[in-house]
Amino acid sequence: MPRNQQILLVSRPQGEATLDNFALVECDTPELAEGQVLVRHHYLSLDPYMRGRMNEGKSYAAPQPLGEVMIGGTVGQVEVSRHPRYAAGDWVVGMGGWQLYSVVNPDQPGVLRKVDVTRIAPSHYLGAVGMPGVTAWYGLNKILEPRAGQTITVSAAAGAVGSAVGVLAKQRGCRVVGIAGGPDKCAYVRDELGFDDCIDYRQHPDLRALAAALKAACPQGIDGHFENVGGLVLDAVMLRANAFARVALCGMIAGYDGQPLPMLNPSLILINRMRIEGFIVSEHMDVWPQALAELGELVASGRYRPRESIAHGLAAAPEAFLGLLKGRNFGKQLVKLVD
């Protein structure tokens, strides 16, 4: 069995996460038992939710245990199989974590699934045709309930989730306005993804300026908003929300370092009879097949061209992850583990 490399969480962040919270170790890979497979990971997914798991406080999921492999989605190939339904060479997606190899019992529900890489690149199964894409699909369809002609806004619009929200909303005939950081990201959102407009929040650093930009980009107001950031962005959106607007609350990355995120005008929820709903996509496994089918067809047909930021080598994962939390990634952040 091959030697494995792993990245462990060795301490809890105090404020911002740092490289010192992680450690790279090498270890033996255990021998396979009957019914298990050995998976060699080709790509590791880095996602904002991981920052919340690093904390010890109450959340929707148990904290990442100290001294154990960091949680994370992976796509790779079966190297050795002692399971009748899997063969060496099969491409599989799972939650292999921040390591080069994992030993998996595929009979455990939800731990491994085969994927077809003939029409869709393997890496996309961690982004547009994976958990981020399904997150976008669920929040848009089940919470925002878009109708043709309505205006949908989305923060972190150039990211893995935000880009999928916009592409799916355009498929449903909506006017879509993104919010992203920097002219390059905004150009990608408009020109490649097909959003109707994109606001560079760095050019509008306060509430008044950002709300004014939203007013210009959304002359008919906002009917639905997909939130990945929180804080100032959500406050500005609230000022432009129409009566009966819906907000799908997916992430609050502005507060992942532990500081409170007060809402400036909560009375607008009542005045506009708004619905604000948080959700965790892993609690809605029933929609995954339908969502993945639509997203897979969009990617395979070229109607959705997801952007990826790729770091190389397992040792690069912590720094790439910290960059993700600062918005330095462009599209889906991945770590390539196989040359």
Dist. CA 127–CA 169, nearest whole Å: 17
The pLDDT tens digits for 200-226 are: 999 999 999 999 999 999 999 999 999
Summary mean pLDDT of the chain: 95
DSSP label of 201: G
pLDDT at 101 over 90: yes
Average pLDDT of the segment spanning 4-12? 97
> Could you write out the DSSP letters of every residue in 96-121?
--SBSEEEE-TTSTTSEEE---SSS-
pLDDT at 53 over 80: yes
Q: Sort 310 into a burial class: Cβ within 10 Å, 0-12 / 13-18 / 19+.
A: middle
Cα dihedral value 255, 260, 264, 270, nearest 10: 90
| Nearest-5° Cα angle at 105, 100 to 93 | 55
Q: What is the pLDDT of residue 56?
A: 86
Is residue 45 within 8 Å of 310, Cβ to Cβ? no
Which fold is adopted by the domain 131-282? Rossmann fold (3.40.50)
Is residue 243 within 8 Å of 216, Cβ to Cβ? no
Q: What is the pLDDT of residue 60?
A: 75
**How far is the CA of 282 from the CAs of 45, 279, 294, in angstroms?**
16, 9, 18
Whether domain 3-127+307-336 has CATH 3.90.180.10: the reply is: yes
Name the band, by pLDDT with cuts 50, 70 and 90, for residue 288.
very high
Name the band, by pLDDT with cuts 50, 70 and 90, for residue 94.
very high
The domain ranges of the chain are 3-127+307-336, 131-282
Name the band, by pLDDT with cuts 50, 70 and 90, for residue 15.
confident
Structure tokens at 318: 């912590």
